Chains A and B, each alone.
Chain A
Amino acid sequence: MNTSIDYLAVVPDVAGRGAISAWGLLRLRQHLEKGLPLTARPYQTLAEQTGLTEREVITAVDQWQAQGLIKRMGLVVKHRTLGYTANAMVVWDIPDAWVGSAAEAISSAPFVTLCYQRPRQLPDWRYNLFCMIHGVDRQRVLAQLESLVASAHLKKFPHSVLFSTKAYRQCGGRYVSHD
């Protein structure tokens, strides 16, 4: 296990009790990756599982959220089960100087769920901006993409649409579990 991961540096000081056990935080992180226990007092349940107190668990979650280590707390929807069967990764070849403004425009579309810049791998891979569109069906996704190309003035940039045809694995990232 790697103890230099920065969340371990996040050892909040709970009023009057000193710092929280780093091992407790590591265990908390492992348990939280599996989701909140569905009990009336989930943070108390986590406290029992990790050897921390309920107050310490809540403080740690609050701080991780404030620091951006936790992006959001909420229901993690499986879009495929709901009927969002079309999933397109759209990749763009944008001149480096313009990639920031193009990314901002793409990100502001409500149906875009992710937008990342990644390195080109020439000559095999020319694209440097990636976004994800989840949709109910292919036609709808393509229509959304078309409206995005028009509204964000992206027509002159080469892009490619990679629809997914099969999910072989889809699960949350686990960094501190034992693999």
Chain B
Amino acid sequence: MKLDNTDKQLINLYQRNLPVCERPFQEMAQQLDIPESEVIDRLQSLQNHQVISRVGPVFEHHRAGASILAAVAAPTEQLDLVAARINRAPGVNHNYAREHTYNLWFVMTAPDEDTLDERLDELEHQLRLPMLRLPMVRQYHIDLGFDIDWEALA
């Protein structure tokens, strides 16, 4: 999808501070000097083209249940297979291959710590691979979106 300046402005202005009121898209429309329906259409189109995954809240995970970063060292030739098995486990919402001996990194979530531990134990048992469990100790920087470097992308 080719983004025009209005799309870029929407992204620049509204990764945070989306108005919370009866007609939020109208308020955004006034800011951008376009009709409200165009804001909605553009957001829908950005969403359809996977430029944005959604419009709306990013929840603070650590205050809404349990989550953990975990990693396994999978044999390289079995990377896809192991990744698929991890994806089948309940509560996995991020799963990346990374360049390291520990080559699969995933985030698992659960309603509470006990359930999380049980799910990890079960997965570790299934995979029969050494697993690193790295719960968060402290968060120093929260995700507030970041300024897109449009020039670097052009």
Contact = CB atoms under 8 A, between A and B. Distances in A.
A5 B18 contact: no
B66 to A, nearest CB: 9
A125 interface: yes
Given A77-B145, A165-B98, A166-B97, A72 B107 contact: no
Given A58-B21, A119-B134, A72 B11 contact: no
Contacts of B111: 1-2, 5, 175-176
Interface residues of A, number: 83
B15 A74 contact: yes
A173 B55 contact: no
A177 B15 CA distance: 25
Interface residues of B, number: 84
Interface of A: 1-2, 4-7, 29, 32-36, 38-44, 54, 58, 61-62, 64-65, 68-78, 81-84, 87, 89, 100, 103-104, 106-107, 110-119, 121, 124-125, 128, 130-131, 134, 136, 140, 160, 162-176, 179
Interface of B: 10-11, 14-18, 20-26, 36-37, 40, 43-44, 46-47, 49-61, 63-65, 67, 69, 83-84, 86-87, 90-100, 102, 104-107, 109-112, 130, 132-149, 152-153
